Amino acid sequence: MARKKQTRGACVYCGKEMTRGGLVRHLKTCNERKQAIASADEQKQGLRQYIYHLQVQNAWGGDYWLHLEMNGETKLNVLDHYLRAIWLECCGHLSRFSVGGGWGGREVGMGTITKRILQPGLTLNHIYDFGTESETLVKVVDVRTGRPTIPNPIALMARNEFDQPPCIECGKPANWLCIECLYEEDVGGALCDEHAETHPHDDYGSPMPLFNSPRVGMCGYDGPAEPPY
């Protein structure tokens, strides 16, 4: 069986494009990132604290992923809000963090200060929407002590590039998703602009736009918030 092609993304600091795993290694040695950290420390503004490198991915498949840097003095609800903004928010659903598995793990409160729970090697499970759930894995890759490189408590260091799926009608890059095909016909449902206009979708309404998010096609998701997140 052919190995599945891994999604790739670019380092925010230097622009080099790599896989999710490649960026774990690259971000530790990226000269441009080192310069950003050194510059932040030299300015002597802001609190010196533990700052965590988080690798975030959708629990099933891992095609969607983020590399984040999060301040240790920040509460977990800030990470929850970030994930909602960039990936998940649709209808104001409940969410939770846990350690040791999704629903079976020990719940960690949203008000928890991150430095009290995060440590390299730990994986947090995040579930958004307890009906049509989206599960995310948050792995602590590394930790450093210093000052944040940006004013916001979470910095985006890399993100997967969205690989447009082929249209089920013609094979061209797709921008739309037929929910009826996705759930009833089990054929994917991706459609190009042309076939989104002519493809029949009687029971589920008009096609939905595709986004770089594991929440696409679920509940009422209609895309991320405007950056910065």
In a structure prediction context, what are the per-residue pLDDT tens digits for the chain, which is 229 residues long? Answer: 445 688 999 999 999 999 999 999 999 999 999 999 999 999 877 789 999 999 999 998 899 999 999 999 999 999 999 999 999 999 999 999 999 988 889 999 999 999 999 999 999 999 999 999 999 999 999 999 999 999 999 999 999 999 899 999 999 999 999 988 888 877 789 999 999 998 887 777 788 899 999 999 899 899 999 988 8
Q: Are residues 167 and 110 in the same domain?
A: no
The answer to whether residues 118 and 47 belong to one domain is: yes
Longest dimension (CA), the chain: 61
Q: Do 128 and 108 reside in the same domain of the chain?
A: yes
Domain containing residue 28: 8-160
- The answer on 107 and 175 residing in a single domain is no
Structure tokens belonging to residue 153: 């408590």
pLDDT at position 35 is 98
Residue 202 lies in a domain: yes
Contact 195, 170 (CB under 8 A): yes
DSSP helix/strand/coil, 50 = strand
Same-domain status, 111 and 194: no
In 3D space, the residue among 142, 154, 167 whose CA is nearest the CA of residue 68 turns out to be 154
Q: Please, how many CA atoms are within 13 Å of residue 100, restricted to the half-sphere of its CB? A: 6
Among the listed residues 113, 128, 19, the one whose alpha carbon sits nearest the alpha carbon of residue 83: 128
Residues 50 and 159: their CA atoms lie apart, in Å, by 22
Of 141, 160, 179, which marks where a domain is finished?
160
* Domain end residue (candidates: 115, 132, 160): 160
Say if CB 156 and CB 36 are below 8 A apart: no
pLDDT, residue 4, reads 66
